[in-house]
């Protein structure tokens, strides 16, 4: 009888340790996943703000012909921030921001004169926005 109690005690101790380790491991994994999702969310929201600022610069340059508010150097700063923030998000967002950077690079000289250049930049901004919204809806 003592031997059976001792075996039962050993089995319950082993089971308790396994249960504790599994629970601890899941908790660590969940905290890590939550932190990752939170970092992606913050980077996405900051990227959305910078996209809005870039769009404002684009519109000020073309529609208002405002050389101060529509200064392409301000646009380059915003594009750089967008690229930096995208590195903290997902590969799909990062890919779209690379495309935005390329579109900006090819069209910034035409901001004050060419509606097509403004449309290309605006379309690229919208593409990044759409991808950010899609990513945000998938986060837990």
- Residue 116: the pLDDT is 97
Largest CA distance in the chain: 94
Outline where the chain has alpha helix (H): 2-62, 72-86, 91-107, 115-138
pLDDT of residue 78: 97
DSSP string for 51-72: HHHHHHHHHHHHTS--TTTT-H
pLDDT for residue 94: 97
**Neighbouring residues of 139: CB distance < 8 A, sequence distance ≥ 6:** 37, 40, 41
> What residue spans define the domains of the chain?
3-138
CATH class belonging to 3-138? mainly alpha
Per-residue pLDDT at 8: 84
pLDDT band at 14 (very low <50, low <70, confident <90, very high): confident
Model pLDDT for residues 88-114, shown as the tens digit of each residue? 999 999 999 999 999 999 999 999 999
CA atoms in the 13 A half-sphere facing the CB of 5: 2
Residues 6+ apart with CB under 8 A from 5: none
pLDDT at position 1:
60
**For residue 140, pLDDT beyond 80:** no
pLDDT digits (tens, 9 = 90+) for 21-74: 888 888 888 878 788 899 999 999 999 999 999 999 999 999 999 999 999 999
């Amino acid at each position: 009888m003592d031997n059976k109690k001792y075996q039962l005690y050993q089995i319950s101790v082993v089971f308790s340790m396994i249960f504790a380790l599994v629970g601890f491991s899941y908790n660590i994994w969940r905290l890590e996943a939550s932190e990752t999702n939170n970092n992606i969310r913050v980077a996405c929201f900051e990227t959305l703000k910078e996209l809005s600022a870039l769009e404002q610069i684009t519109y000020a340059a073309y529609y208002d012909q405002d050389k101060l508010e529509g200064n392409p150097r301000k646009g380059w700063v915003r594009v750089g921030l967008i690229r930096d923030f995208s590195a903290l998000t997902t590969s799909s967002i990062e890919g779209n921001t690379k495309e935005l950077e390329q579109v900006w690079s090819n069209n910034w000289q035409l901001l004050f004169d060419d509606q097509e250049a403004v449309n290309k930049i605006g379309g690229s901004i919208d593409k990044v926005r759409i991808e950010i919204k899609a990513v945000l809806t998938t986060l837990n």
